[in-house]
Structure 1
Amino acid sequence: MQAVAVQIRPFETRDYDAVAALNNVNFPEFTSSADEIRYDDEHRPAHCRWARWIAECDERVVGGAQYEQYAGAYNPRKFSIQITVDPTLHNRGIGGRLYAALIDALREFDPISMNAMSREDMFCRVAFLQHRGFREEQRDWSSELDLDSFDATPFRKYVDSMRSKGFVVRTLADLLANQELDERELFDLWVEVQDDVPSPPSMDRTRRTFEDWRTRNLEHVSLFPEAYFIALDGTRYVGTTQMWRAPEKECLRTGLTGVRRAYRGRGIAFALKVVALEFAKQRGYGRVDTENESRNVGMLSINERLGFVKRPAWVHYVAEWSAASRA
């Protein structure tokens, strides 16, 4: 197909709506509002590098590209990249121009590798990455639950069983309203659970600071305190699941679900999921989305029992800089 003449320029704050629209059509299971993207940009840790570019054609935004680093997976020489192009303009050279801009900008940091994502059935994106030396290293299942057909009745016995063992479920909203939230205890629970979530082999897992976690958790624009559930054993926080607001008003997105190591095998995670889904249904939501790494058999089993239906997998790709920078 004939190449499209585009102008590549640095991102500007006026581009947030266009960036969100491109993100949502390219990554439909990971939609973000302009406000969410803006918030994340404004609260990036100082040591994590990032930059973004825009592709314009006839004064219309038709593509975007960015590199970034994450506090929870930080290596100064490793970068995540993302390229988005208007689907009606695929195979017109826009992605290649944006990729070249990324490569040129990254050279000064002496990278050793880059990673990217694509859904397995997005063949144009997959071919684009493979042509540039990217190889698959992990698969995540994206799943959804139709709440109109969800019936919590068969599962309430698991909630009753958990409570009969002395565990109490409270929401973040309740703890905040009663000035009982122990933020450090919740952070400690998150760290322990997150450490056991499978991650891509090339990722360097690093400890986030309490301040960064608080900013991206308790203060985030998509936080839904009433849908943030915590299981307690006395005053100890032992398990959690949360649902976060999504740009689609009828949908909620599942966050981190997990239980402290010493409390696993007691049905806490399953019971928390039941409580959360029943809450979502009662509030009139129509769908809950979730993602799980393909090796996370325990959580995948829980979701399947509850009726979640898998969608095409999202694949993590990695490329050595020596190969990717020559493409």
Structure 2
Amino acid sequence: MNRLQQISADVEIRPFEERDYEAVVAVSNAVFPDRPWTEDELRYEDTHLDSNKYALERHVAVDRQAGGTCGYGEIRHLPWNFHPRKFGMTIRVSPELWGRGIGARLWDRLLQSLEARGALAVRTLVKEDRAHAMQFVRTRGFTEVMRTWDSHLDVASCDLSRFQEDVAQAKAAGVAIVTLRDELVNDPSCLPHVHALEMELGADVPNPDPFTPVDLQQWRQHTVDAPWFIPDAYFIAAIEGQYAGVSTLWRPQIGAWLQQGLTGVKRGYRGRGIATALKVRTVEYARTHGYAQIKTENEIHNAPMIAINDRFGFQRQPVWITFLKELAG
């Protein structure tokens, strides 16, 4: 047995348990330190996934000698692109142990589960600058289906005076920009209408699979009830009492940055400067509240949204590539 085989043999792959949350988050943050998250955030996501409809299966890799968790892998249904026999996949291994066969062991275990579930396809995200991960998926029969820019905005350097004309255009078109906090105060029954807006806009977001709307409860759990929700940074464009567009920011529990959520405008209201006016409000919020950076992602062919982000000064990072593997089912 060579050294790599010995290292792989010293690793146990077992089902995820409650005690593993802290270690799994530590591995994820070591792999992607620019996208840190917390044990509380992962727990929230797990406990608010509708287990009656959506599957989530996670396994951890444990070093038998050291006794620590050195990686994890999971498959899950994707609520916004739901198909009962299609899954998303994540595999993460502690960086100091890359190239030692641990990811391969996790993949083998996940593949067993996919086959047992009669899966038709599985997809995963890989950062383009991670050559080892690119090779890992390609040698296992995954093919590229989509590319998504990861972009970062330095809030302090963004010159908002450049967008006065866009804001004026939206205002002249009768657009009022309000926060979800304002709407909840004025009309506590507004959430079904906000949910309907997001579901309509979600269908226009580029994706490898068809968009599948989620119900009001699932949407609430992902937005207004979630720990990352900011009621004063959920901006809605309204025209004569009708919701026309939205732009949101989420607050991670670690770091002086904000995550850009959905930005979109209904088709009938486009071309009036609404998306830009909404984005101006997000940058104003970040600046007022002392956040240094806004991070966002956009599919590379989503030209209108990318053009807006370029105007604001978002700087493109290495792309996320969506890889898909079709299975026999």
Q: TM-score, normalised by structure 1?
A: 0.94
Q: Confirm or deny that 1:86 pairs with 2:94.
A: yes
Tell me the residue number matched to 1:144: 152
Q: What SS is found at the alignment partner of 1:274? A: helix
Tell me the residue number matched to 2:14: 9
Tell me the residue number matched to 2:217: 211
Amino acid corresponding to residue 17 of structure 1 in structure 2: E
Q: Report if the CA contact (8 A) 2:169-2:272 is conserved.
A: no
Q: What SS is found at the alignment partner of 1:265? A: coil
Q: Confirm or deny that 1:296 pairs with 2:302.
A: yes
Tell me the residue number matched to 2:139: 131
Amino acid corresponding to residue 24 of structure 1 in structure 2: N
Which piece of structure 1 moves more, 81-90 or 246-255?
A: 246-255
Q: What SS is found at the alignment partner of 1:67? A: strand
Task: Tell me the CA shift for residue 235 of structure 1.
Answer: 1.6
Q: How does 1:167-182 map to 2 (within 5 A)?
A: 167-180=175-188, 182=190
Amino acid corresponding to residue 201 of structure 2 in structure 1: V
Distance (Å, rounded) in 2 between the aligned partners of 1:192 and 1:218 = 18
Distance (Å, rounded) in 1 between the aligned partners of 2:150 and 2:254 = 16
Distance (Å, rounded) in 1 between the aligned partners of 2:265 and 2:191 = 17
Task: Tell me the CA shift for residue 164 of structure 1.
Answer: 2.5
Distance (Å, rounded) in 1 between the aligned partners of 2:34 and 2:205 = 20
Question: What are the superposed Cα offsets for residues 263-299 of structure 1, whole Å, 9 maximum, x if unpaired?
Answer: 0111100110011101211111100000000110000
Question: What are the superposed Cα offsets for residues 238-264 of structure 1, whole Å, 9 maximum, x if unpaired?
Answer: 110001002333100000000111101
Task: Tell me the CA shift for residue 31 of structure 1.
Answer: 3.6
Aligned counterpart in structure 2 of residue 65 of structure 1, from 73, 78, 82? 73
Amino acid corresponding to residue 45 of structure 2 in structure 1: D
Q: Report if the CA contact (8 A) 1:29-1:142 is conserved.
A: no
Task: Tell me the CA shift for residue 180 of structure 1.
Answer: 4.6
Distance (Å, rounded) in 1 between the aligned partners of 2:67 and 2:112 = 24
Amino acid corresponding to residue 72 of structure 2 in structure 1: G
Q: What SS is found at the alignment partner of 2:91? A: strand
Runs of 4+ in 1 over 6 A off after TM superposition: none
Q: What SS is found at the alignment partner of 2:126? A: strand
Tell me the residue number matched to 2:249: 243
Q: 1:175 to 1:223 in 2, by over 3 A?
A: same
Q: What SS is found at the alignment partner of 2:229? A: coil
Q: Report if the CA contact (8 A) 2:147-2:300 is conserved.
A: yes
Q: How does 1:170-209 map to 2 (within 5 A)?
A: 170-180=178-188, 182-200=190-208, 203-209=209-215
Distance (Å, rounded) in 2 between the aligned partners of 1:119 and 1:86 = 16
Amino acid corresponding to residue 44 of structure 2 in structure 1: Y
What's the Cα RMSD here? 1.6
Q: What SS is found at the alignment partner of 2:280? A: helix
Distance (Å, rounded) in 1 between the aligned partners of 2:305 and 2:281 = 16
Q: Report if the CA contact (8 A) 1:185-1:236 is conserved.
A: no
Task: Tell me the CA shift for residue 29 of structure 1.
Answer: 5.5
Q: 1:166 to 1:285 in 2, by over 3 A?
A: same
Q: Report if the CA contact (8 A) 2:81-2:210 is conserved.
A: yes
Question: What are the superposed Cα offsets for residues 78-106 of structure 1, whole Å, 9 maximum, x if unpaired?
Answer: 11111000011001111011111111222
Distance (Å, rounded) in 2 between the aligned partners of 1:41 and 1:288 = 25
Which piece of structure 1 moves more, 263-272 or 244-253?
A: 244-253
Amino acid corresponding to residue 289 of structure 1 in structure 2: K
Distance (Å, rounded) in 1 between the aligned partners of 2:46 and 2:18 = 10
Task: Tell me the CA shift for residue 108 of structure 1.
Answer: 1.8
Distance (Å, rounded) in 2 between the aligned partners of 1:106 and 1:317 = 16
Aligned counterpart in structure 2 of residue 283 of structure 1, from 275, 285, 289? 289
Identity %: 36
Task: Tell me the CA shift for residue 120 of structure 1.
Answer: 0.5
Q: Report if the CA contact (8 A) 1:114-1:320 is conserved.
A: yes
Task: Tell me the CA shift for residue 56 of structure 1.
Answer: 1.1
Amino acid corresponding to residue 200 of structure 2 in structure 1: E
Task: Tell me the CA shift for residue 30 of structure 1.
Answer: 4.5
Tell me the residue number matched to 1:22: 27
Task: Tell me the CA shift for residue 181 of structure 1.
Answer: 5.4
Tell me the residue number matched to 1:159: 167
Tell me the residue number matched to 2:111: 103
Distance (Å, rounded) in 2 between the aligned partners of 1:289 and 1:314 = 13
Q: Report if the CA contact (8 A) 2:93-2:103 is conserved.
A: yes
Amino acid corresponding to residue 275 of structure 2 in structure 1: A
